[in-house]
Amino acid sequence: MKVDILLGLQWGDEGKGKIVDVITPDYEVIARFQGGPNAGHTLEFEGRKYVLHTIPSGIFHSDKKNVVGNGVVIDPVIFKKEVDALVKEGVNINKSLLLSRKAHLILPTHRLLDAASEKEKGSKKIGSTLKGIGPTYMDKTGRNGLRVGDALSDKFQEKYDQLKAKHERLLGHYDFDYDLAPLEEEWMKAIDFLRTMTVIDSEHYINNDLRADKRILAEGAQGSLLDIDFGSYPFVTSSNTISAGACTGLGVALNKIGEVFGIFKAYCTRVGSGPFPTELHDDMGEELRAKGHEFGATTGRPRRCGWIDLPALKYAIMINGVTKLIMTKADVLSNFDHVQVCTHYMHQGEKIDYLPYSIQDGEITPVYEAIPGWQQDLTGMRSIDELPAELNNYITYLEEHLNVPITIVSVGPDRSQTIHRDSVMA
């Protein structure tokens, strides 16, 4: 058996949580491989809505294992709140939720450093979710980090104090006030809670499962254009969000990767700062935001909205090795006369169809093609045959340009609003 990967091809918020939940019945293990509580994976079913930050989106299927891999960074406080909320809803996490011993911990001082750094950057800020993601990954690569395994050792307090002291020295360089004591108290209680969880050597666990022919799905967070290496640097997150991140974030060899499901919205959004070539600054953008409820699931911030960007999607497909595409939020694009598709950019006087080194405002100008829109409400539709001809035309058009089959079309946030499609390309 191989590990399949599901990941976002844009700037995050493509609907990964919903689709992972929908396809979980095909798998025995769902594993997060990077990111942390900067993610907000929204799932809706049976009239209820849940937002997951650290816990994999397979958690509502009681017979599945959900692994938080070594590549993930965990804030014990947020994690505890997530678990408490699930338990309150009657979800049994006892045997199904497993934490990697090698996952790094987000300290309260990591969050403070994130906030202090963003404050200092002023108008040049990244637009971080302020969950301490960047500082935690910096300590990981700087070889100073604390891991879940440390929380189980008797040297934990000593290691914590050392790292905290380093952070306090760093915080002293910023013009930033803080009160650490209450944060620390809550965090230490959450660490006690973390110690009651099932902690595993996740790389052995996953590889043993592979040998036992178990089906594993790796769930990405954020999106490919936020990848630390290939995203719109420096306006990116601090982990590898692309498929290669699943290998390092779970301990899975390259030759053990199977399908790579790439998920994208029928249009495009971005939350936080950074370039966004097809952003709409007019009423149309407002309309997409309102119709698509485009507000961050983690921070509540309004998302920036724009048209679909094919050069950026092709780039994401290339670096991820996407084998199947999944398109979400087709319903939000209803009622437009025409839907605009960015097919190329004008760059240094040339028309190009690839993502250049810099996509900052002024360096590239999108070139659009107008595709006839559809007027029907899609949210009650459950089969491809019911979809309007114009939408089927849009899907085929995208497939032809992206050269990868679109196998699922999502027409609403609920589990049931999902249409499987037999692509002629598949």
Give the interface segment with ligand IMP, choosing from 79-87, 126-134, 153-161, 325-333 (CB under 6 A).
126-134
**Run of H or E including 74:** strand 73-74
The Cα–Cα gap between 379 and 45 comes to 14
Residue of 41, 104, 167, 344 with catalytic role: 41
Q: Is 6 in the site for ligand IMP (CB under 6 A)?
A: no
Identify whether 41 is a catalytic site residue: yes
Work out the angle at residue 414's Cα, subtended by the Cα atoms of residues 410 and 415, and round it to the nearest 5 degrees.
80
Judged by CB under 6 A, the stretch of 9-17, 90-98, 146-154, 387-395 that binds ligand IMP is 9-17
Closest to ligand IMP by CB, 129 vs 207, is: 129
* Contacts of the segment 242-248: beta carbons below 8 A, 24+ positions apart: 242/7, 242/316, 242/319, 242/320, 243/5, 243/7, 243/319, 243/320, 243/321, 245/33, 245/34, 245/71, 245/220, 246/3, 246/5, 246/7, 246/33, 246/34, 246/218, 246/220, 248/33, 248/71
Q: Is the CA virtual torsion 57, 59, 63, 68 positive or negative?
A: positive
At closest approach, how far in Å is the CB of 274 from ligand IMP?
Answer: 6
List all residues 6 or more positions away from 21 whose beta carbon is below 8 Å from its beta carbon.
43, 45, 57, 58, 60, 61, 415
Question: Does 129 help bind ligand IMP (rule: CB under 6 A)?
Answer: yes
Site for ligand IMP (CB under 6 A): which residue of 9, 12, 140, 324? 12
d(CA 133, CA 53): 12
CB of 221 to ligand IMP, least distance (A): 6
Least distance to ligand IMP, CB of residue 335, Å: 26
Residue 131 makes contact with ligand IMP by CB under 6 A: yes
352-372 core/surface letters (b: 16 or more CB in 10 A; e: else): eeebeeebeeeebebeeeebe
Of the pair 185, 233, the CB lying nearest ligand IMP is at: 233
Stretch that binds ligand IMP, among 178-186, 221-229, 283-291, 326-334 (CB under 6 A): 221-229
How far is it, in rounded angstroms, from Cα 22 to Cα 419? 11
> Taking CB under 6 A as the criterion, which residues in 264-283 touch ligand IMP?
271-273
Catalytic annotation present for 13: yes
- Could you say which of 127, 258, 321, 373 contacts ligand IMP (CB under 6 A)? 127
Rg (CA), the chain: 21
4, 13, 139, 309: which one binds ligand IMP (CB under 6 A): 13
237 counts as binding ligand IMP under rule CB under 6 A:
yes
**Cβ count within 10 A of residue 170:** 15
CA distance 279 to 277: 6
Element (H, E) at 365: strand 364-372
Nearer of residues 38 and 202 to ligand IMP, judged by Cβ: 38
265's tokens: 């919205």
Tracing tokens 């993610």 back to the chain, one arrives at: 39
Q: Does 34 bind ligand IMP (CB under 6 A)?
A: no
Among 10, 24, 38, 328, binds ligand IMP (CB under 6 A): 38
Q: Helices H, strands E: what count in the chain?
A: 12, 20
Rule CB under 6 A: say whether 241 interacts with ligand IMP.
no
Site for ligand IMP in 132-161 (CB under 6 A): 133-134
Q: Which stretch binds ligand IMP (CB under 6 A): 34-42, 154-162, 372-380, 382-390?
A: 34-42
Nearer to ligand IMP, 12 or 285 (CB): 12
Tell me if 221 contacts ligand IMP by CB under 6 A. yes
Binding stretches for ligand IMP (CB under 6 A)? 11-13, 38-40, 126-129, 131, 133-134, 221-222, 226, 235, 237, 271-273
Residues carrying an active site annotation:
13, 41
